Amino acid sequence: MSDWVRVCTTSELLPGESKVAWDGDTPILVVNYDGDYYALEDRCSHEDFELSAGEFDGEEATIECVLHGSKFDVRDGRALNAPAYAPVVKFPVKVEGDAVWTRDDR
């Protein structure tokens, strides 16, 4: 298990916004959904393509892969429509002071 990786400050990740952090070779997409922070592997489970290239819907809590249109719930990583059926890996997030942190805990 790796150490926590600093993503940004809370003021740099407002509701409806997202940022990508790297934990070694793992890209992690961190989103602010209505004041809560969630982290997913920045990789579509259907095809190895970065989810961060897609649109984060801050009202529906979804991210859409621009390659084939699969949507994922950012809160738990589950796939919401075909062609993706497998969930995206979810990672822990913590806020300490004004900093947002995540890590690849696999």
Report pLDDT for 92: 98
Q: Tens digit of pLDDT for each residue in 52-103?
A: 999 999 899 999 999 999 999 999 999 999 999 999 999 999 999 999 999 9
- Kindly state the average pLDDT of the residues 17-38: 97
Which DSSP symbol is given to 79?
Answer: B
* Domains in the chain, CATH or no CATH each: 5-102 (2.102.10.10)
pLDDT at 1 over 70: no
Which residue, among 91, 29, 94, 92, has the nearest Cα to 62 in the 3D structure?
29
Cα gap 38→88, rounded to integer Å = 12
Give the global pTM.
Answer: 0.95
